[in-house]
């Protein structure tokens, strides 16, 4: 008997035909066996994606998204306001696929399809700003500047490597900014080159080395990089599995909280889940247990130090 009665399988029709065909052949036969009534829908624009989410989101049991972090981000923004939200399955079809990594989903599509359709249903938090939602991270400073510095031709050719090339290029030209961050009433002020508010654990395929970050704890995790020290930046990008934030991690400020207010001089572009969207100053809050995702493996959402 199929696991779910009704579902949607959404994919981006703007990719190369050969790539789409291969992705569908690797995933649809597995997914369709476990959903009795499955609608397969190709989208070619944000308007079409929004329409699919609004029309089918409240009706179906499960909503599969074949795409990268940007597609996942847009979908959760359209699904988040719904009173009745479907269970979501993420099939990694992008460059970094960071949120699928948080869910411990295999990065080969055939393995991912089999893993998530049999995976555990996991209730996870989401972050909300004044106008948008995020599921993995919100950031200003270096992370946003690195996104702007990505060369699209380089991205097509080198994939994930292009993000690291861009990040290293950005370090030498990072512009510090004055900030005032308030986390559940606690205020910190100073000068930084990057502020991250994490819900998930991955950026650019690398795990942030903070064991406390947890999608299910009802808190957001705030990290502030106070200067552009290259050694520190490499430490962050290396993401040592057992490296906790401690007194030796002198250039990184870390706090957890349910509400976060970020004030800066002027305006800073915001990167949400890999998409440049909005500006700081901003106010953020956590929405505990707002979504249910299909976990991709037995270690999905388990503590960092257990991995």
Q: pLDDT exceeding 70 applies to what percent of the chain?
A: 79
3-state secondary structure of 71: helix
Treating both helix axes as pointing N-terminal to C-terminal, what angle do 160-171 and 230-238 enclose, rounded to 10 degrees? 160
Please enumerate in sequence order all residues whose Cβ is within 8 A of that of 222, keeping only pairs 6 or more positions apart, or say none. Answer: 181, 183, 195, 196, 197, 198, 253, 254, 255, 256, 257, 260
> Of residues 162 and 256, which shows the higher confidence score?
256
Give the H or E element holding residue 36: strand 35-43
In the predicted model, what is the mean pLDDT of residues 1-20? Answer: 93
Same-domain status, 102 and 48: yes
What average pLDDT does the structure give for the chain? 85
Q: pLDDT exceeding 90 applies to what percent of the chain?
A: 64
Cα gap 95→97, rounded to integer Å: 6
Give the domain-ending residue among 67, 91, 119.
119
Q: Look at residue 6 and tell me whether its pLDDT is greater than 60.
A: yes
Q: Which of 9-18, 123-132, 153-162 bottoms out in mean pLDDT, i.e. has the lowest?
A: 153-162
Query: Is the CB of residue 93 less than 8 Å from the CB of residue 23?
Result: yes
Is residue 82, in this structure, part of any structural domain at all? yes
- Known catalytic residue at 275: yes
Which pLDDT score is estimated for 245?
Answer: 47
β-strand partners of 30: none
Q: How many domains does the chain have?
A: 2
In the predicted model, what is the mean pLDDT of residues 195-207? Answer: 89
| CATH number of domain containing 145 | 2.60.200.40
Residue linked to tokens 């998530």: 116
Cα gap 22→39, rounded to integer Å: 18
* Angstrom distances, CA of residue 256 to CA of 6, 48, 133, 223, 253: 38, 37, 18, 9, 11
| CATH number of domain containing 94 | 3.40.50.10330
Same-domain status, 190 and 93: no
Same-domain status, 223 and 95: no
Q: Look at residue 145 and tell me whether its pLDDT is greater than 90.
A: no
Same-domain status, 10 and 103: yes
CA angle 48, 27, 25 (to 5 degrees): 95
Is residue 302, in this structure, part of any structural domain at all? no
Q: Look at residue 170 and tell me whether its pLDDT is greater than 60.
A: no
Set 250, 263, 275, 283: catalytic member? 275
Q: Look at residue 38 and tell me whether its pLDDT is greater than 90.
A: yes
Cα gap 307→303, rounded to integer Å: 7
Q: Look at residue 232 and tell me whether its pLDDT is greater than 50.
A: yes
Confidence of residue 296 (pLDDT cuts 50, 70, 90): confident
> What's the predicted TM-score (pTM) here?
0.87
Is residue 124, in this structure, part of any structural domain at all? no
Which pLDDT score is estimated for 234?
Answer: 60
Query: Is the CB of residue 137 less than 8 Å from the CB of residue 199?
Result: yes
Is residue 73, in this structure, part of any structural domain at all? yes
Which pLDDT score is estimated for 248?
Answer: 45
In the predicted model, what is the mean pLDDT of residues 66-76? Answer: 95
In the predicted model, what is the mean pLDDT of residues 261-275? Answer: 93
Same-domain status, 109 and 190: no
Is residue 290, in this structure, part of any structural domain at all? no
Cα gap 78→24, rounded to integer Å: 24
Residue ranges making up the domain that contains 252: 137-285
Which pLDDT score is estimated for 242?
Answer: 46
Q: Look at residue 289 and tell me whether its pLDDT is greater than 60.
A: yes
Span 207-221, pLDDT tens digits = 887 888 999 999 999
Confidence of residue 256 (pLDDT cuts 50, 70, 90): very high
């Amino acid at each position: 008997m199929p696991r779910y009665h009704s579902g949607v399988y959404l994919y981006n029709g703007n990719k190369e035909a050969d790539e789409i065909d291969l992705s569908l052949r690797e995933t649809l036969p597995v997914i369709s066996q476990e959903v009795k009534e499955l609608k397969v829908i190709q989208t070619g624009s944000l308007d079409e994606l929004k329409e699919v989410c609004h029309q089918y989101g409240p009706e179906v049991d499960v909503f599969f998204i074949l795409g990268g972090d940007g597609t996942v981000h847009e979908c959760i923004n359209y699904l988040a306001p719904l009173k009745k939200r479907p269970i979501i399955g993420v099939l990694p079809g992008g460059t970094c696929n960071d949120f699928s990594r948080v869910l411990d989903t295999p990065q080969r599509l055939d393995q991912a399809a089999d893993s998530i359709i049999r995976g555990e249903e996991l209730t996870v938090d989401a972050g909300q700003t004044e106008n948008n939602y995020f599921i993995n991270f919100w950031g200003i400073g270096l992370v946003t500047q690195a996104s702007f510095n990505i060369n699209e031709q380089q991205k097509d050719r080198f994939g994930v490597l292009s993000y690291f090339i861009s990040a290293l290029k950005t370090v030498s030209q990072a512009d510090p900014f004055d900030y005032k961050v308030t986390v559940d009433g606690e205020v910190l002020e100073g000068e930084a080159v990057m502020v991250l508010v994490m819900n998930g654990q991955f950026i650019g395929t690398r795990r942030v080395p903070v064991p406390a970050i947890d999608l299910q704890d009802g808190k957001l995790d705030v990290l502030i990089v106070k200067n552009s020290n290259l050694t520190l930046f490499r430490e962050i990008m290396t993401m040592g599995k057992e490296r906790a934030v401690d007194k030796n991690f002198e250039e990184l400020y870390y706090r957890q909280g349910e509400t976060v207010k970020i004030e800066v001089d002027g305006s800073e572009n915001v990167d949400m889940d890999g998409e440049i969207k909005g500006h700081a100053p901003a106010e953020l809050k956590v929405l505990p247990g707002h979504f249910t995702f299909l976990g991709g493996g037995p270690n999905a959402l388990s503590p960092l130090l257990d991995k």
